[in-house]
Amino acid sequence: MYFTLSALVAAVAVLPLCSAVPAVSEPPAPTSQGKAAPTVDAGCICPAIYAPVCAGGKTYPNACTANCHGASVEHSGPCKEPAPESNCICTAEWNPVCGDGKTYGNICMAHCAKAQSITKGECPKVPEPEGNCICTAEWNPVCGDGKTYGNICMAHCAKAQSITKGECPKVPEPEGNCVCPLIYLPACGDGKTYGNSCEARCAKAQSITEGECPELPKPTTA
């Protein structure tokens, strides 16, 4: 097969143009809102410190967690509560509920925010782990020795012995002749350990904390 000189020159002139065109990468898959889904670093570990920041219109427990989700921090503190939908009108009544780990003023507000898991009362405060223990900020509550922790890692860091999945059940206030359930969820009342907080209240203890009372150090002999 033979080519003319002019055809060869034309082919050589085209080659640099083809090689100079950069490869086009596929765009990230859009979310339901049409925005690219953020990349989450599965191996990202953050300290369980609650110092909320607003990133990408969503509140994260700290800047590390926001960075792990690929979100850019907009400002310190939680994001402003979004206005309810045009057809969603609620009263300003304060009757708090916990929706997906966030406290709302009432159940109407939680429904307007499309919360999935809603329980009565404010969301429990997540205790910070002790020592140099580092856990993720994932909200997957467990009950450890009668105290609710954000996840099982935090419960282990606090050296909880008896751990069950889900938040700890609330102990009802004693009434009348003061009858308490036979549940061992120790509480320390005025320096004395009771079987549960109900028994401590029945004994009219003033200062009550969850868990057994700490042992006092024995005095040293000279």
Q: Each residue of 99-111: pLDDT tens digit?
A: 887 889 898 888 8
pLDDT of residue 202: 86
**Any idea which fold 175-215 has?**
Wheat Germ Agglutinin (Isolectin 2); domain 1 (3.30.60)
**Topology alike, domains 84-125 and 130-170:** yes
β-sheet with 73-76: strand ranges across: 58-60, 53-55, 73-76
CATH of 42-76, one of 3.40.50.300, 3.40.710.10, 3.30.60.30, 3.100.10.20: 3.30.60.30
> Bigger pLDDT: 39 or 187?
187
Q: Each residue of 38-85: pLDDT tens digit?
A: 555 566 888 888 888 999 888 888 899 888 888 899 988 888 765 555
- Entry pTM: 0.27
> Bigger pLDDT: 60 or 222?
60
Could you say which architecture CATH assigns to the domain 84-125?
Answer: 2-Layer Sandwich (3.30)
For residue 15 the two structure tokens come to 């080659």
What is the separation, in whole angstroms, between the first and last Cα of the chain?
A: 110
